[in-house]
Each structure stands twice: as structure tokens, then as C-alpha cells.
Structure 1
Amino acid sequence: MTQPAPTLKVLIVDDHAVVRRGIKAYFEVLEDIEAVDEASDGQEALEKLAAMSAYGKLPDIVLLDLMMPRLDGISATAEITSRYPDVKVVVLTSFGETERLHTVLEHGASGYLLKDAGPTEVASAIRAAARDEVFIDTAVAKHLTRTRLSPPTGIASLTSRERTVLALVGQGRSNQEIATELRISERTARTHVSNVLGKLSLRSRTQAALVAVREGLLPPGG
């Protein structure tokens, strides 16, 4: 007879008590997932993990919110995965920005869930993390796919050289001055300026200068 899978032990970290209670209620009806403790922010989570580690009773998974006081989810994820490499982290957040997703995954998170995820998705993310897999919320995954399929627009569409040219335009440099600065021909400089204006849908160098200031490519009045 096959042995039942061991119960996955989870530390719940969220600054809202009602969220922690709701997640614990999810787990109470599951046979393979158990909430062993909870914390109200990243700092308290690290303190509880240190105490658990001292007794050799680390959880399998830390389920944590991204936006918390004292120590946020991104910083907490980095600390947890560094100090306790066998403990998996699943992020639960109300924010779906891909930038945050990339950051937490870079810090070693094994899952990324939106707070409106249902009990089934939360359980699936925890089980996936235990199997050393990465689980990404379906809605976030779809957004990521759309982002990758769509060509970059605006300032993101500029090459490194074109961003440099935009900064020089913002400083009021002429095509000849840009050419001298970048050691290219004036004709090439003119082409770069034209490409920048075209990609940003601008009609004048003055508009380009305003964009350069807004994007922080040079200080106001620079």
C-alpha cells in the first residue's frame, strides 16, 4: 500500500488578519496542506523562521504578501531564499505588474498569485512549489504573453544609441554637435534624430527635448 504524501507545512505572511484567516480556512479542508504559523510582515516572518529553524521545524512553503510594512515581500523573498534555500516562497499579491513578477522570480520565488485567486489555485501553487516547479497565476501569465507578443512602444522602443541621441537633443545639441560627440557623420546623426522622432511620434526637436526631461535622461533645465 502506498504511503500518503506528507502534509505540506505553510507559513502565512500578510499584514491583513482577515486574509490570513481566509487562507487558513482554505487549508483546513485540505488533507495535504497545513498552516503551521502566521506573520504580519516580512520582518516578523524572518523572526519566526529563525525560531523554527532553531528547533529544526522549518515550513515547506512561505506564502507571503508583496506589499507589507517594515519588510516587503520582495525583500523578504530575497532573505528567505538566501537563508533557507530548502524553503519555497509563493507570493500572493493584488498587483499584477510584470516588473514585480520578474523581480520576485529573480529572488527565488516559486510562485506568483493574485489575491483574487481561488482556493484551488492557491493549493496548486503550493503543491507546485513543493515539487520544485514555478507556478504563475493564469491572469498574469496571459498578460506576460501579450506583453511579449506586442512590440515595445515609446521610450522602450529606442535603442541605446537612440536614447543617447535623445538626451543630446534634450541638451539642445545640433545634428553637427551630436555627430561630433558620438564620432559619427552628420548624416548618420540626422538619421538617428529622425528615427527617434518617428518612434516617439514627435514633430519637433522641442517635443523630443521635453520627452528627454520627462524620462530623466537629463535634469530639468539641463
Structure 2
Amino acid sequence: MKTKKKVIIIDDHLLFSQSLKYLINSFNDFLVVDNYENGKDFIDSVQANKINTDEIELVLLDVNMPVLDGLKTMEWIKNNREELKVIALSVNDDEETIIKMIKHGAKGYLLKDTSPQIFEEALKTVADKGFFFTELVSGLLVNRLDNNNQKHELKDKEILFIKHACTEKTYKEIADEMCLSPKTIDGYRENLFCKLEIKTRIGLVLYAIKNKIVCID
């Protein structure tokens, strides 16, 4: 039997959380193993070693929750469990909230009225490629990415590096793939961060989407 990828849901709306669990468990590749009502409950379980986060493929994180909301939970995950792939969930398409969640490391942002088909696609894409943005969300983000509307001349190796950076590969794996040393790859990364005036890997992803270096679907 094929092993399903494990998923955690953090959402304070019990009916939605249980319905989402039922939907995800109907997919061939995923299984919900835990539900939490807020970020604090989730963090407490991690710190008490009740969760082996190495076995978790995806975390679905509600943005608006009592006790500890999605943004503060996302900040904690970024600082303590950065390897976790998080998809933010919300009823709102507020631009500032989307940008804050992505900047804090969320790999995707889905509205709660997303169709089951797109929802399954998002889970698969984040699990396999490392990120997923709907046309609506990517449009909001890329419009904010390059306020100066400057064009940058990129070398072929830089473009190839960006394409690899848009996957879930580690920088060491990218170095192996490109037959370069990790130190050289670190140089590519830092030079691109400086050239493109960005600070994070997700910034590279958004730049790649904006300039059609990679596709969002």
C-alpha cells in the first residue's frame, strides 16, 4: 500500500477543520494526522515532543485564530521548524496579510472557498515543488515585488539556479545538480539577492513567477 503524506491542520473552526480533514483523507496521496484549534496548541505539542515534525509533509494554517494567530504561528515555525511546508488558509484576500504570511515562509496561500480540485493540486504542488500560488495571490505578490520596474540582465547559470531554487531542493542538492561547489552556489544566491534587491528564497520564487522563468501551475 502506498504511504500517504502526513498533514496537520491548525484551525479554530471545528466544522471547517473536520470537513477539510474528510476532504484531504479522500485524496489518494494525503492523510490528516492531527488537528489543532490554534497555534499555541500546535507549538505546545511540538515542544512536548508529541509531534515528530520530520514525518509531517504539510501544515495547513488558518490565518485568523484566537490565542495565537496564523502570523505569529508562522513566525515561530520559521524560527524553529523552518523545514515545515506551510499553506496558509483564510477567508480574506487582504494583500498585506498575504504578503506577511509569504514573507514569513508560507509556501502557499489559499482562500477557504477554493475548489477541492485546486486544493488537491495545491497540496501536491507544495509537496513536490515547494510552493503554490493561485493566479490571484501571485498577481498581488508580483505587483509588489519590483516597485522600480527595473529589468535585470541574468546569466544562463543564474537563470538555471533560480529555476532550481523554485523547487524543494536544498542548496547543497542544487550545487550537486549544477556540478558546482556549495560555496559557488552561496555566491550565486548572495549575488542574486543583491542584484534583485530581495532577501529570501521566496523572493527568488516570486521574481521567477513575475518574469516567467517558472510557471505557477
Q: Do they superpose with TM above 0.5?
A: yes
Q: 8 Å contact 1:58–1:87 — kept in the other structure?
A: no
| Alignment partner of 2:45 out of 33, 44, 48 | 48
**Residue-by-residue CA offset, 1:194-214 (whole Å, 9 max, x unaligned):** xxxxxxxxxxxxxxxxxxxxx
Whether 2:94 is the aligned partner of 1:85: answer no
Which structure's relative contact order is higher, taking Cα pairs within 8 Å and 6+ residues apart? 2
**Aligned residues between the structures:** 148
1:70 partner letter? V
Q: Which residue of 2 aligns with 1:199?
A: none
Query: In structure 2, do the counterparts of structure 1 residues 113 and 73 end up closer, same or farther at CA, with 3 Å as the change threshold?
Result: same
Query: In structure 2, do the counterparts of structure 1 residues 55 and 117 end up closer, same or farther at CA, with 3 Å as the change threshold?
Result: closer
SS class of match (2:35): strand
Whether 2:71 is the aligned partner of 1:74: answer yes
**Superposed counterparts of 1:170-209, under 5 Å:** none
Unaligned 5+ runs, structure 2: 149-217
With normalisation by structure 1, the TM-score equals: 0.58
SS class of match (2:100): helix
**What is the root-mean-square deviation in Å for CA atoms of aligned residues?**
2.7
Q: Which residue of 1 aligns with 2:123?
A: 126
CA distance in structure 2 between the aligned counterparts of 1:52 and 1:24, rounded to whole angstroms: 23
Q: Which residue of 2 aligns with 1:184?
A: none
Q: 8 Å contact 1:49–1:58 — kept in the other structure?
A: no
Q: Which residue of 2 aligns with 1:185?
A: none
Identity over the aligned pairs, expressed in percent? 28
Q: Which residue of 2 aligns with 1:161?
A: none
SS class of match (1:60): strand
Q: Which residue of 1 aligns with 2:107?
A: 110
CA distance in structure 1 between the aligned counterparts of 2:49 and 2:117, rounded to whole angstroms: 28
1:62 partner letter? V
Unaligned 5+ runs, structure 1: 152-222
CA distance in structure 1 between the aligned counterparts of 2:92 and 2:51, rounded to whole angstroms: 34
